[in-house]
Structures are given as C-alpha cells and as structure tokens.
Amino acid sequence: MAKVAFLLASGFEDSEMKNPYEAVKEAGHETVIIGLEKGARCDGKKGTISYTADLGASEAKADDFDAVIIPGGGAPEALRVNDDVVRFVKEINQNDKLIAGICHGPQVMISADVLKGKEATCFIGIRDDVKLAGAAYHDKEVVVSENLITSRTPKDEPAFIREILAKLS
C-alpha cells in the first residue's frame, strides 16, 4: 500500500479534499496531512469540514511518501509561497512519484516548477499560469501526464479519484 501526502492549508475546497482523502483511505493506503505547521487546523472554505496537519512541511521528506495530492480552493495560494512545501513537491517530482492537483492545486506545481513539458488541466482562472509554466493545457475532466494527474473542478472529482487510485495500485 502507498503512503500518500495531502498538502493542506485553510481555505481548501471542501469536497476536493474530503472525497479523494476518503477514497485513498478506503482503498487501504496510508494518508498523511501535511500543513504549514504540525498540528495546524485547516478549515475548508465552505466550512463543512476541517483537518489537523499530521506533519509540518518543514518535516516532510519525499523519501517517506509515494504520492502527494493537492486539493484546490484558496489553500494552494498559501502553500505555494512556503519554501518547504515547494521543496517537498520538487523532490517528489525528482523521484518520479505521483503528484495530483485539482482546481487551484496546480499553483503549487507551478511554484515547484514541475509542469514544463507536461500536459495538464486546472481551474480556468489559472489556465494561463499553467501554460506559462510550460505545460500543454487541455480543457478536460482529468489529464494524466507521466507522474502528474490534474483536474479542473469539484465536478471532475470522480475522474480525478479514479486516476489517482489507478496510479497507486
């Protein structure tokens, strides 16, 4: 079974965390929530759910994980400016491990400079940023490109989750 990191800060899109997180756990994989600080409370932007960070980004080591999932909403903006978050995602990518981002999640991928030469999708509001980061943008429910999986919005969650579980198995 895989050990999967979920990168989280307050303001995340509730369902984009809850649904993949529960699906990955139900599939038998180990889940670890990585926040800006260990023990930090992360609240969903709709207020339906909150989580506590199991690990701070400064403690996260790519060698300890098989994959990282980045929910969207406002959280990626807070995560992408944290040097430890960016380092962690870069290291995951250098080891060709799975990086999955939905909605605004690819903002963290942009800051970690992992999109060059890949294909991706995202929330339309960051489409130009994804293109400028070197990815070929596709307006599709899910795009799998080597070790990356990206999706656009909560309505794409079933396809996003399906591809994550396929890669982890």
Give the pLDDT band (50/70/90) at residue 42.
very high
Output the CA torsion sign for 47, 72, 92, 65. positive
Which pLDDT belongs to residue 116?
98
Which pLDDT belongs to residue 161?
98
- Average pLDDT of every residue of the chain: 98
Report yes or no: 69 and 164 within 8 Å, Cβ to Cβ.
Answer: yes
Report yes or no: 89 and 127 within 8 Å, Cβ to Cβ.
Answer: no
Which pLDDT belongs to residue 70?
98
Count of CA atoms in the C-beta half-sphere (13 A) of 29 = 25
* Contacting residues for 93 by C-beta, under 8 A, at least 6 apart: 99, 112, 114, 147
Query: What is the pTM for the complete model shown?
Result: 0.98
- Answer yes or no: 103 catalytic: yes
Looking at residue 144, which CATH number applies to its domain?
Answer: 3.40.50.880
Distance in angstroms (rounded) separating the CA atoms of residues 20 and 30: 13
Give the pLDDT band (50/70/90) at residue 9.
very high
Q: Tell me what percent of the residues of the chain surpass a pLDDT of 90.
A: 100
Which pLDDT belongs to residue 37?
98
Q: What is the pLDDT of residues 119-153, one digit of tens each?
A: 999 999 999 999 999 999 999 999 999 999 999 99
Average pLDDT in the 45-74 region?
98
Which pLDDT belongs to residue 102?
98
Q: Tell me what percent of the residues of the chain surpass a pLDDT of 70.
A: 100
Q: Which residues constitute the domain of residue 125?
A: 3-168
Cα dist. 43→9, 86, 101, 146 in Å?
A: 7, 21, 18, 31
Which pLDDT belongs to residue 157?
98
* Burial class for 111, CB neighbours closer than 10 Å (0-12, 13-18, 19+): buried
- 29, 42, 103, 122: the catalytic one is 103
How many structural domains is the chain composed of? 1
Average pLDDT in the 17-27 region?
98
Average pLDDT in the 106-111 region?
98
Average pLDDT in the 8-27 region?
98
Q: Is 122 helix (H, G, I), strand (E, B) or coil?
A: coil
Distance in angstroms (rounded) separating the CA atoms of residues 93 and 58: 17
- Answer yes or no: 104 catalytic: yes
- 42, 104, 122, 138: the catalytic one is 104
* N- to C-terminal Cα separation, the chain: 8
